[in-house]
Amino acid sequence: MAGARPVAGERFTVRRVAVILLPATTLSDLLSADMPNTGMLIKGGALGLMNSRTPGRPDGEAPESYYLDYSPQSAYVTLGAGARAVAGVDARYAFNRDENVLGVSAKDILFRRTLTGADDARIIHTGIAKLVHDQESLNYSITVGALGSALKAAEMKTAVIGNSDDGTPRREAVAVCMDGRGRVDLGDVGPLMSLPSPLSPLGFRTNTPRLLLEAERCIPQAELTVIELGDTARADRARPYTMDAVYKRNMSAALKEADQVIGKLTGIAAKNGALIVLLSPYPPSSVMAKTKNSLCPVVVFGEGFPSGLILSGSTRTAGICTNADIAPSILGWLGVPSPKEFMGRCIAVKGCPDAAGYLLWFNNRAGMQVKSYAVVRQVVVATIVFVVVFTLLWFLIPFGPGRRTLSTLALLPPSVAPALFFAALLPTGSIVVAWLQVLVFSALLVWGALLIMREELRALMLISGIFTVAVALDLLCGGMLSRFSILGYSVVDGARYYGLGNELMGALLGGSLLAV
């Protein structure tokens, strides 16, 4: 699937786009039997996994480790900036224009902080100035609200509906389509979008009738409508305070309710010719705690839009995109040029008969790869210790049978890189099993090379040659071993999506020199 060319989607245009945010969910959640309406979208649309990594968070935020590089607040700002952005608690503070905030209306707070009037905007993000300042810690240029600003320049309307309030404002969704001054034309994110519910996670649930009523009003008027279904976010935030069984029950109930809403929103969108983009801005905390897999589902569905796997120029890997790709894709579908600050690329689609099955497999392999990464560091340390001890013994045993044994053992360090590469043939998420695989593959390589060549130097050349040829053949066949080897790169980390990782490239260069 690597390097696949798009067959459609890149030049697709539409009058309206409706983005449905279903936070803290996984691909398995969307494919569950509890979500038949979402399943219909997946079958008829384009499906992908989105890398949700962000640069991190400003100092002074909550200490939860998964907030460092996978901050929920940063995730929303990133979607609206078209580049990886950083954000703290201020990303939550958005209000209806006349909503009272500590005795002052939101529109007055906006003017006080930015000297910008609300104009006709219905929704105000009062934390816009702080969000802009947060980006100063980054070593690249980024424009907060770039997506909304581009739409405003094209004289297009934006709208935001819903929140995930839990007694305090949790309205990060506004950051997705606000302009650079924190304004959104239409919608409702006020307190009436959530209802008190003593038995619901954190004591609140989405006011579904009001949300659907607002969607009926806004989708026909706005070119971009962002709708947040906040119950899954509340269930995820309540996880540390609930038993596992309660968390699963809460999340299951939230998903069932969300699926019913998605079914009704699909009808509203179809009636108004809107393209639906369903995505999770950030992964569930439970998944990050267990597997550190930050890949989140993305579904694009609409009349005339092709089905298959999402394909992005940022990753060049079928089925994988980045969170920075969403903004340029929305602009592309609406026929608006992307600002130069965008780091992402417009999404296209590659045909695939079983996109869901392929991505479930890919997601599982990527998760196992991340869980096994610690083995690389451990093996490197063990190899260094081995070389030091081996060198001492070499000088202490100048001749005799012991010297011959040392000559054989000298082949073990050069066999480590090939062993790490071939271990991808038997994927595992267990560090212990990964260690056993490395030891077994190393022993087999050394034993087989000595059996064939009968001499240590020639055996070393054979091991290096096997490794070099194997990597070359793998790259010619799509690079699956290179991608999922713990010696390679990780699409979850998001530092690289194609080619060879630094570690594997270094080992390949050394192996190719020894082979010749």
pLDDT in tens, 428-448: 878 888 889 889 999 999 999
DSSP code, position 2: B
Summarize the confidence of residues 418-436 as an average pLDDT. 86
pLDDT at 403: 65
Q: How far, in Å, CA of 318 to CA of 48, rounded? A: 8
Asked if 157 and 106 sit in the same domain, the reply is yes
Residues 357 and 406 in one domain: no
Query: Looking at the predicted structure, is the pLDDT value of residue 68 above 70?
Result: no
- pLDDT at 66 (0 to 100): 37
Predicted confidence (pLDDT) at residue 258 exceeds the cutoff of 70: yes
Q: Where a domain ends, among 353, 368, 383?
A: 368
338 is a domain residue: yes
Q: Is the pLDDT of residue 76 over 90?
A: yes
Burial class of 275 by CB neighbour count within 10 A (0 to 12, 13 to 18, 19+): buried
Question: Which region among 23-32, 181-190, 258-267, 446-455 has the lowest average model confidence (pLDDT)?
Answer: 446-455
The predicted-structure confidence for 450-485, as pLDDT tens digits, reads as follows 999 888 889 989 999 999 999 999 988 888 888 888
Residue 1 lies in a domain: no
Please tell me the distance from the alpha carbon of residue 143 to that of residue 223, in angstroms, as a whole number.
Answer: 21
Q: What is the pLDDT of residues 190-228, one digit of tens each?
A: 999 999 999 999 999 999 999 999 999 999 999 999 999
**Average confidence (pLDDT) over 404-422:** 84
Whether pLDDT at 3 is above 50: no
Provide the β-strand partners of residue 46: 300, 308
Q: What percent of the chain has pLDDT over 70?
A: 94
Residue-averaged pLDDT of the chain: 89
Is residue 128 a part of any domain in this protein?
yes
Percent of the chain with pLDDT over 90: 65
Q: 265-279, 306-320, 501-515: which has the highest mean pLDDT?
A: 265-279
pLDDT at 391: 76
pLDDT value of position 2 = 44
| Residue that is last in its domain, among 311, 344, 368 | 368
What band does 70 get if pLDDT is binned at 50, 70 and 90? low
Q: Where are the alpha helices (DSSP H) in 126-243?
A: 128-134, 146-153, 174-177, 208-218, 231-238
Is the pLDDT assigned to residue 235 strictly greater than 90? yes
Q: What is the b/e burial string over 441-458, where b = at least 16 CB atoms within 10 angstroms of the residue's CB?
A: bbeebbeebbeeeeebee
Cβ distance 259 to 280 under 8 Å? no
Looking at the structure, tell me whether residues 280 and 321 fall in a common domain: yes
Beta-carbon contacts of 448 under 8 Å, excluding residues fewer than 6 positions away, are none
- If asked whether residues 399 and 378 sit together in one domain, one would say yes
- Average of pLDDT values for 25-44? 95
Domain count within the chain:
2
Do both 482 and 396 map to the same domain?
Answer: yes
Same domain, 101 and 212: yes
Q: Which two tokens stand for residue 27?
A: 């691909």
Q: Compare 293 and 38 and report the one with higher pLDDT.
A: 38
| Whether residue 28 is found in the same domain as residue 143 | yes
Choice among 64-78, 221-235, 494-508 with the minimum mean pLDDT: 64-78
Q: Please provide the DSSP assignment of 267-295 as one string.
A: HHHHHTTEEEEEE-SS--HHHHHHT---E
Distance CA 202, CA 235 (A): 8
Range of the domain at 474: 372-515
Based on the fold, state whether residues 497 and 356 are members of the same structural domain: no
Type of residue found at 179: D
- For residues 294 and 391, give the distance between their C-alpha atoms in angstroms, rounded to a whole number: 43
- CATH assignment of the domain containing 344: 3.40.720.10
> Does 364 fall in a domain?
yes
Task: Give the pLDDT mean for 103-131.
Answer: 95
Confidence at residue 513, expressed as pLDDT on a 0 to 100 scale: 83
Q: Is the pLDDT of residue 138 over 50?
A: yes
353 lies in a domain? yes
Task: Give a yes or no: residue 499 inside a domain.
Answer: yes
Q: Is there a contact between 301 and 355 (Cβ–Cβ < 8 Å)?
A: no
**340-362 mean pLDDT:** 94
Is residue 96 located within the same domain as residue 171?
yes
pLDDT computed for residue 58 by the predictor:
39
Model confidence at 243, pLDDT cuts 50, 70, 90, reads: very high
CA separation for the pair 336, 331 (Å, rounded): 5
For residue 2, tell me if it sits in a domain.
no
The overall longest dimension of the chain from CA atoms, in Å, is 90
User: What is the C-alpha separation between 330 and 275, in angstroms, rounded?
Assistant: 9
Q: Please give the structure tokens belonging to residue 489.
A: 């790169």
Domain identity same for 450 and 356: no
Give me the pLDDT at residue 65, please.
38
Residue 386 lies in a domain: yes
The last residue of one of the domains, among 341, 368, 395, is 368
Which whole number is the average pLDDT over 312-330? Answer: 95
Residues 265, 299: contact at Cβ < 8 Å? no
Are 337 and 406 found together in one domain?
no
In tens, the pLDDT along 166-183 reads 999 999 999 999 999 999
Residues 282 and 300 in one domain: yes
Q: At what angle do helices 326-333 and 72-81 cross, to 10 degrees?
A: 40
pLDDT in tens, 36-66: 999 999 999 999 999 999 886 434 444 443 3
